[in-house]
Structure 1
């Protein structure tokens, strides 16, 4: 994305100036003023419905995106860049191809326009060499070792053959209904196959796992470039590679179960009773980024929102919410109790709150499920049927409720300890009086 200099006041449609003034948008103030009409309760305190500009509001637009760069082409407002993607509910499709190259790490945000041209050429050459290598190797040799300077390495032909066997089963099952694979676009399935095999050949620790075809398909459709899709999906897979392994699958499901227990103990108890197999049915949602549970364009928007990593428990937004809750209880306690901000489980990523939001929204239906078969039927019934904006609102509400609850629990614990100390002192005084 070619970018000009920093924006001057008044040039942006959203009043972009600097990151320290991100909250000064008049639209945000209007939304905040209206938020008082829809507040919900959690424990002893109202949890404000988060101010989110989605649905009718603009996405990260072609007019806004260039204003995030400096004159040399560096994306100097990365945190605001991610915030816009989250708050605006995704990216304008006209610039999605350029945005994703930064969002998924193909281009470092600190790179200049000139550096990116060189990097693009390097990545093109490297990919073509890797692809050529496994294509040449397969008919003739079982193993191959060359130096690492030009990205060559050992390839276990037996393992690669097995990966190709699974790839060839999965690729035809990829979302064929998409326009991208219709008519002449069927050749894109062969491109998808080459990307998956190249990744498997040069990432033997991960190789190919079922579901990767759907994820790479998303990159290929948006970027419409074999090389760019390979690199963006590779950087993405490197971040979530543990989730493709059995232990990673189990860990994520356990985290979701723990979070649901925090948010709704009744639903948690029901889903984890004998014969229900816990929340294993949620694994596909989490692994594929809810790709099949929403209408296709909404699924892409959600993928962008989750990949922005703007709202996490270690973010400024979470810390601010917890600090505000602490000050509220401090005032109610007349300044007698002021604990440190309690620790939160930062492994509860926002995607887990999205998953919890779906479960909470469909709570009544889930409580009627009596076994694993009915749970599978339930999940199949959700494909393409969920409302993204409603799920996002509920997920953010659950996120901030969790932040508030962590503070509330801390105050309750301190109050209990103080009552015990006061009771003990009273008994001592009574003993010696």
Structure 2
């Protein structure tokens, strides 16, 4: 596959330095990215603005991500904030409704815990102190803009009443919410502040991130907050540049992946990574599961945050898009179809049926696991020299920001392709020559899902 590089992950018109003015960011929060609703996605969107979801996912995968100008709109569809069936005329109204709902939700926890509305600072972090000042300026301008919208006030009042009824029965556990806020207040300042999005006046975005995370924790007590969510949510905030849209897109993403932030969910993912490496390289697997190693827990951050720190920042955003396409699920359908056809052929074959059964394909082996395996196999010699968990952690830390995304994707594709091929055809060793044309047809179908036309 020829993966394309799409450049700077975040620039909009008039923001050449990647650091928008305070006024522009205020507009993005108070009027939740209404401009995004008017953009188009050529090739995947019809004349009325409806999106072909399958085509969107294929577009992102085959092109190695989307361009910075498309990214904000594409993510709103990809992660479920916008229904793909919605039209361009419907989306501004949907955004209005989502904005009101978010504001009602945020106001409810703020009234429940008024002491938590402001982050408590010890005064030693000058940038964070400045962030509070910029945040307060923004909030004042947002309130002023809201007062100036008299022509839509009646409609907004009705939407607010609807939202209040919707969330009226939600209650909070004070102790649990306080604990979540305590951890959030520790994690938010640790968010990657080297990004231009959090520098200068942009430092106020740290407080926006805090509000989003607290609102999510308050209304999702079964998930609450876990360390690492700040980095994940930060990715959405940077790309969408809207407090409201970030909350809803992040919430949609967490509906599917919140289990990864629980101990059992992450343990399961690490087990799958170990099982996959055992399939691809039994010797390396055996080395890494010795008593002195941590048995793949060094992959924890890679899998939890989608390799956020292992690649250059713009590449990490592209990889997040590619992984979020769930393209392996599409591949699995192709593999299952080919395997079903082979079973039918064998059922009615007059040849000896004493051959071994087809090896089972583990559909839990998602593409991110192949990405992880590609990194491990590419650094096989270094890993084989590691003798304990300290050396493993040192090794993984040394990879931060050094990996080449295009090369890693190609290698992951190669490992995935070979895994599918082996599982589907190994049992035909010494027997497949008579079926060579059918085998080639299957492999062509599989390969065609990867190769750019």
* TM-score bucket (shorter structure): 0.7 to 0.9
Match of 1:150 in 2: 166
Which structure shows the bigger proportion of residues in helix conformation?
Answer: 2
SS in 1 for 2:329: coil
The number of aligned residues is 353
- Partners of 2:337 and 2:64 in 1: CA distance: 22
Q: After superposition, what is the alpha-carbon deviation per residue over 1:156-207, rounded to whole angstroms, capped at 9, x for unaligned? A: 1111100000000000000000000011111000000000000000000000
Match of 1:402 in 2: 419
- Partners of 2:350 and 2:97 in 1: CA distance: 63
Residue 56 to residue 94, structure 1, CA distance change in 2 (3 Å) = closer
CA offset at residue 316 of structure 1?
A: 4.4
- Partners of 1:346 and 1:414 in 2: CA distance: 26
SS in 1 for 2:419: helix
CA offset at residue 118 of structure 1?
A: 2.0
Match of 1:186 in 2: 203
Match of 1:71 in 2: 47
Contact 2:50 2:85 in 1 (8 A): yes
Match of 2:387 among 362, 366, 370: 370
CA offset at residue 317 of structure 1?
A: 4.9
- Partners of 1:350 and 1:314 in 2: CA distance: 10
Which ranges in structure 2 are unaligned for 5 or more consecutive residues?
A: 9-35, 117-162, 433-453
Task: Say if 2:12 is the partner of 1:55.
Answer: no
- Partners of 1:368 and 1:252 in 2: CA distance: 25
Within a 5 Å distance, the mapping from 1:156-305 to structure 2 comes to 156-305=173-322
SS in 2 for 1:278: coil
CA offset at residue 341 of structure 1?
A: 6.5
Task: Say if 2:60 is the partner of 1:85.
Answer: yes
Q: After superposition, what is the alpha-carbon deviation per residue over 1:203-260, rounded to whole angstroms, capped at 9, x for unaligned? A: 0000000000000100000000000011111111111011111111111111111111
Q: CA RMSD in A?
A: 3.2
- Partners of 2:313 and 2:338 in 1: CA distance: 33
Match of 2:399 in 1: 382
Residue 412 to residue 122, structure 1, CA distance change in 2 (3 Å) = same
- Partners of 1:250 and 1:80 in 2: CA distance: 33
- Partners of 2:173 and 2:431 in 1: CA distance: 59
Q: After superposition, what is the alpha-carbon deviation per residue over 1:11-54, rounded to whole angstroms, capped at 9, x for unaligned? A: xxxxxxxxxxxxxxxxxxxxxxxxxxxxxxxxxxxxxxxxx131
Match of 2:375 in 1: 358
Contact 1:85 1:91 in 2 (8 A): yes
Match of 2:24 in 1: none
Contact 1:339 1:410 in 2 (8 A): yes
Contact 2:6 2:65 in 1 (8 A): no
SS in 2 for 1:299: helix
Contact 1:195 1:226 in 2 (8 A): yes
- Partners of 1:192 and 1:56 in 2: CA distance: 28
CA offset at residue 322 of structure 1?
A: 6.2
Residue 156 to residue 413, structure 1, CA distance change in 2 (3 Å) = farther
Which ranges in structure 1 are unaligned for 5 or more consecutive residues?
A: 1-51, 142-146, 416-433
